[in-house]
Structure 1
Amino acid sequence: MKVACVGGGPASLYFSILMKRVDPSHDITVYERNPAGSTYGWGVTYWADLLNDLHSIDPDSARAIREHSVRWDSWVVHVRDRTTITAHHGEEGFGIGRRELLGILAEQARSLGVRIEFEREIADEGELTDADLVVAGDGVNSVLRERHADHFGTEVSVGRNTYAWLGTTKIFDSFTFAFVETPHGWIWCYGYGFSDSHSTCVIECSPTTWRELGLHQANEADGLALLEKLFADILDGHPLIGRAPADGGAHWLNFRTLTNRTWHRGNLVLLGDAAHTTHYSVGAGTALALGDAAFLVNALHRDTRLPSALARYERERRSAIRSPQRAARYSAQWYENLPRYINLPPPQMFALLGQRHSALLSRIPPRLYYRIDQLAEQLKSLCEVKR
């Protein structure tokens, strides 16, 4: 099969790796519009179950990813002057630089015979008429998808809160949450390490707080200076770092949850963020992108008829990601309704932070939900003892 992958992100690169591992005779080219080594963002997160899955299907990539990742197994939560450490109950989390991850996957793909063409933008699948399959892995702003938006049934839901994706030289040993109260409302961050020299720091707040703090009109330097003051307690004198090179504007965004009615059209198929996005607060984006790649490869090699293979991929993958997508929606809603939880006694607030993926949490008074949750844990422990 002759395959063209548009977009050089994790989804396209991992798809090309798995296709070559299944059948080295596949002719695969990855087209990336940006220069080699250029990417957005800082670090990405993933969990131990993803690492186990990668080992089972591509141990070489899995080993390289693990070797270049940092690990944590606890949370640190700061609210005003309160701090707690919450164990992950045995679940390991990992962070890796996005540039490092892309480099590992690109090297592995090349070693298997995949061609990667950087600084090559594909704006129309008509440029790839000799390809049997065109994989649109060109992200949330997919050009190929937008050319056929009516067919794909693309819908975008814009989140209420604003956020900025920043870096810092402060190394967080644990996954760190910090909630800071200002005269204009709450602002908070999620921090996690991804190398021995840098961490990611995602900062979020309501649109009212964002405007009244003046962040909506501050340039990047002034905005970073203000945020460094607000989060001085956790940064320990380390700076926050914006995009490089800075263009003078602060990069505040509203998260866009993207869905599509269908994921394929003829020999064109959507992969990763081009097909669906999942709120960053659950840290599942990279895992879902790599999972999409594995499902698509599996479908193509279970059914040699392309239309039915693509239909199988869409059907089976939609079913598999339904649960994390729901969890992400509820997690985003938890943060959008932070005042509902933030003034609870610390043990309750910290517990409900961990339960933010629950569909019931927004429907039950928080204190009652906490009591029910604690009772359920006690009954679970009692049952385990009796066994």
Structure 2
Amino acid sequence: MKIICIGGGPAGLYFSLLMKKQNPAHDITVIERNRPFDTFGWGVVFSDQTLGNLVNADEKTARTILQSFNHWDDIDVHFKGRTITSGGHGFCGIGRKRLLNILQERCLELGVKLVFETEVSDDQKAAAEYDADLVIACDGLNSRVRTRYETTYQPDIDTRKCRFVWLGTKKLFPAFTFAFEQTEHGWFQAHAYQYDGDTATFIVEAPEDVWLKAGIDEMSQEEGIAFCEKLFAKYLDGNPLLSNAPHLRGSAIWIKFPRIVCKEWVHWNEIQGKRVPVVLMGDAAHTAHFSIGSGTKLALEDAIELARCFNKHGDAGMEQVMAAYQEVRAIEVLKIQSSARNSTEWFENVARYADLPPQQFAYSLLTRSQRISHENLRVRDKGYVQAYEDWIAERAGVRRAQTQLPVPPMFTPFKVRGVTLKNRVVVSPMAQYSADDGVAGDYHLVHLGGRAMGGAGLVFAEMTCVSADARITPGCPGLWNTTQRDGWKRIVDFAHSNSDAKMAIQLGHAGAKGSTRVAWEGIDQPLEEGNWPLISASPQQYLDGVSAWSRAMTRADMDRVREDFVRSACWAAEAGFDWLELHCAHGYLLSSFISPLTNQRTDEWGGSLENRLRYPLEVFRAVRGVWPQHLPMSVRISAHDWVEGGITADDAVQIARAFKVAGADMIDCSSGQVSKKEKPVYGRMFQTPFADRVRNEAGVATIAVGAISEADHVNSIIAAGRADLCAIARPHLANPAWTLMEAAKIGYLDLAWPKQYYAAKVQLERNLEREKQLAAANTGLTPQQIAAKLLEG
């Protein structure tokens, strides 16, 4: 083939040498606008995993790169006068110029043609001139090729909120260093790492509003650098900060990061009678924020994958190669970009976490991307994690004896008012549609009793309806008469007698989503007979053309429903529940007032968020007034409607603040189910960021819920201060003893089991240990290393 690469960065050079190595007959030319030794930026960072990929692709190049690397394992986090160090992270730094020179030399050795100081203004003309069969467009962040064919590539460019500047220094840092300094304008942070024998990269970053308040936009380049030198002087030991962009004037060296993702990666041109693909690679195709150091990694791995696809699918034709390349890389890049987005948002919101103790602030930073979890950190640095677990436990009032195992964060107690939960695991309220005339019977006794004995600290009954016309379905439980109260008391008494779990009730009203069939007969489908009238904030039809219409509540309706909630709360206390939650989420009655999608009122209960909250807060205060003061009360909210014009995470913080002022002890942060037009973005722990924001911005304890399915998830969330409790739903349906099982899986043996089940505890722990040892023997890895690889995968 005849191949031209537009752009002589890492992607184009590495792809060229790999293809030339694969088949020396390929005629490959790299066209670069700069001179051979020109470069921008300072050093680049690779993980040990990336180095392994390079070794497998071209060992000779990798060996040369490795000889030029500065390697370190530690991360230092400097915050509020403390330095927190964790090890085992396995990073390497290399100067960008040195990396490019190595790749250039290897290209020349293999016979790749390098053309410098040549600007490609027309890719089609260049393709014709070189009679190219393939054009690689790796012309960087501001790709001219991507712009020319944007209708094909469909780039989505999201310019982020921080300003940052790439600088260098002769101060050598022994670890990858994060330094945070507070000014009168807000927080600035530095990312610093050594990449050769005498130089380190030093990136300074701040939210744009902070940057503007500091006046850097009006400073000269020299003044801006002097500002940074003064701010971070204690880390520089008298060394100046250096710029390698003297040609830029004023504050032009400070930029905002654009997150780029393209829907398509390949454009086809008709050139001299041939269909020639123009393939995006590197920053032209995608970007990942520097805070996870993945830009160059992604570029090199693009090159590796495209070369692999030619080797595997080349005989099937160019179209097959291109399809395979995009299919594989698009998935992997989106994973990295998802982690990078999490990391980016963390650094954009340092002020959100500034009230965390330094130990927890550092842990939050280390786990910010969600690619590094609690157990993954343990593999990297067992001593760090053990010390941190002890710190978390001591803050919860637990001091372990030397003979005891460290207490994982999920198994620390949590006290709210007069109630102490034995651990941070919650059995989430899950509709079972199995009540008879609203009465919770034998099914609920077995269902909830089994989960109370399964190890969780708090067990929620499903949404319990405050009146007959408040039900979702005829199978929903209620609490509008004493028979129902007595049915619940039987269940609560059993749980209290046979476990140390606390029992919670969630009170709600279905609103416009009521009078439907049980789930297995058609979710949200209206009853064929026996329907009851529906009420909500405004007239609404939940399923367009299918659901019955609700009518807008009158003031009399509001009074009646409020008193229904009050009556049910009183009976819940008589039934012995330890905890009460008010359901203000998922499009049900109280939620219908909060969301602008469902509240179209023009009176005092509609319009602004303050007005839309008025009735839910009225109900909350009334319930809180009769609910025993020593018992906690939480509120479940939909923290995001996932529909344009609906509730957002910003609104959720305001909603949480309002309920906190009214007396709420916790906010249970769910999302969605308000509108069928929703488009949620799913993924593991996908709703936890809402709990994180509410907890750390509104200053109220939270419950995280949604796709939390492993002990490692719970430990990571609790340890990072992203939530105070974790509600687990479907895993508890599959396994009532989920908490006991997860404790055994992570090797925590000090968790008490029901005495009747103790023999099973011993056998389970023995079997799990045998499986770990067998796996380690088969792979040559330690159980911890196996766990780390599984987590990373």
Is 1:382–2:710 an aligned residue pair?
A: no
Which residue does the alignment assign to 2:352? Answer: 340
Q: Specify every segment of 5 or more residues in structure 1 that has no aligned partner in the other structure, as ranges.
A: none
> Given the alignment, which residue of 324, 327, 330 partners 2:339?
327
Q: Name the stretch that deviates more: 148-157 or 109-118.
A: 148-157
d(CA) in 2 for partners of 1:244, 1:336:
25
d(CA) in 2 for partners of 1:37, 1:148:
30
SS of residue matched to 1:46? strand
Is 1:260–2:587 an aligned residue pair?
A: no
What residue identity is the alignment partner of 1:291? Answer: E
Is 1:150–2:160 an aligned residue pair?
A: no
Cα offsets for 1:82-127 (capped at 9, x unmatched): 112122xx33101100000000000001100000000011121222
d(CA) in 1 for partners of 2:744, 2:336:
26
d(CA) in 2 for partners of 1:242, 1:377:
52
Q: Name the stretch that deviates more: 114-123 or 337-346.
A: 337-346
d(CA) in 2 for partners of 1:332, 1:46:
18
Contact 2:5 2:136 survives alignment (8 Å): yes
Cα offsets for 1:17-36 (capped at 9, x unmatched): 11011111110000001111
Which residue does the alignment assign to 1:294? Answer: 304
Shift of residue 322 of structure 1?
Answer: 2.2
Is 1:363–2:363 an aligned residue pair?
A: no
Q: Name the stretch that deviates more: 76-85 or 281-290.
A: 76-85
Shift of residue 249 of structure 1?
Answer: 2.3
Which residue does the alignment assign to 2:69? Answer: 69
Question: If each structure's strand is expressed as a fraction of its own residues, which one has the higher value?
Answer: 1
Is 1:173–2:174 an aligned residue pair?
A: yes
Q: Specify every segment of 5 or more residues in structure 2 that has no aligned partner in the other structure, as ranges.
A: 269-276, 371-685, 703-713, 726-741, 750-764, 770-793
d(CA) in 2 for partners of 1:43, 1:283:
10
Q: Name the stretch that deviates more: 357-366 or 341-350.
A: 357-366
Which residue does the alignment assign to 2:757? Answer: none
SS of residue matched to 1:302? helix
d(CA) in 2 for partners of 1:97, 1:249:
26
Which residue does the alignment assign to 1:53? Answer: 53
d(CA) in 2 for partners of 1:247, 1:255:
17
d(CA) in 1 for partners of 2:4, 2:239:
43
> Given the alignment, which residue of 103, 111, 114 partners 1:113?
111
Shift of residue 372 of structure 1?
Answer: 2.8
What residue identity is the alignment partner of 1:258? Answer: I
Which structure's CA Rg is the greater one? Answer: 2
Shift of residue 377 of structure 1?
Answer: 9.6
What residue identity is the alignment partner of 2:110? Answer: L
d(CA) in 2 for partners of 1:19, 1:114:
9
d(CA) in 2 for partners of 1:199, 1:158:
27
Percent identity among equivalent residues?
38
Shift of residue 244 of structure 1?
Answer: 4.0
Contact 2:44 2:94 survives alignment (8 Å): yes
SS of residue matched to 2:5? strand
Contact 2:78 2:179 survives alignment (8 Å): yes
Contact 1:4 1:134 survives alignment (8 Å): yes
Compared with structure 1, are the counterparts of its residues 185 and 319 closer, same or farther at alpha carbon in structure 2 (3 Å cutoff)?
same
Is 1:249–2:259 an aligned residue pair?
A: no
d(CA) in 2 for partners of 1:15, 1:382:
47
Cα offsets for 1:183-229 (capped at 9, x unmatched): 11100110000011110011111112111111111011111111100
d(CA) in 2 for partners of 1:16, 1:213:
45
What residue identity is the alignment partner of 1:317? Answer: R
SS of residue matched to 1:362? helix
What residue identity is the alignment partner of 2:310? Answer: L
Contact 1:220 1:246 survives alignment (8 Å): no
Shift of residue 248 of structure 1?
Answer: 3.2
Compared with structure 1, are the counterparts of its residues 336 and 377 closer, same or farther at alpha carbon in structure 2 (3 Å cutoff)?
farther
Contact 2:180 2:187 survives alignment (8 Å): yes
Report the TM-score when normalising by structure 1. 0.95
SS of residue matched to 2:98? helix
Which residue does the alignment assign to 2:289? Answer: 279
Which residue does the alignment assign to 2:318? Answer: 306
- Aligned residue-pair number: 385
SS of residue matched to 1:321? helix
Contact 1:24 1:112 survives alignment (8 Å): yes
d(CA) in 2 for partners of 1:160, 1:5:
32
SS of residue matched to 1:363? helix
Contact 2:360 2:719 survives alignment (8 Å): no
What residue identity is the alignment partner of 1:286? Answer: T
Output aligned runs, 1:213-224, within 5 Å: 213-224=214-225
SS of residue matched to 2:250? coil
d(CA) in 1 for partners of 2:39, 2:3:
23
Output the aligned Cα RMSD.
2.0
SS of residue matched to 1:34? coil
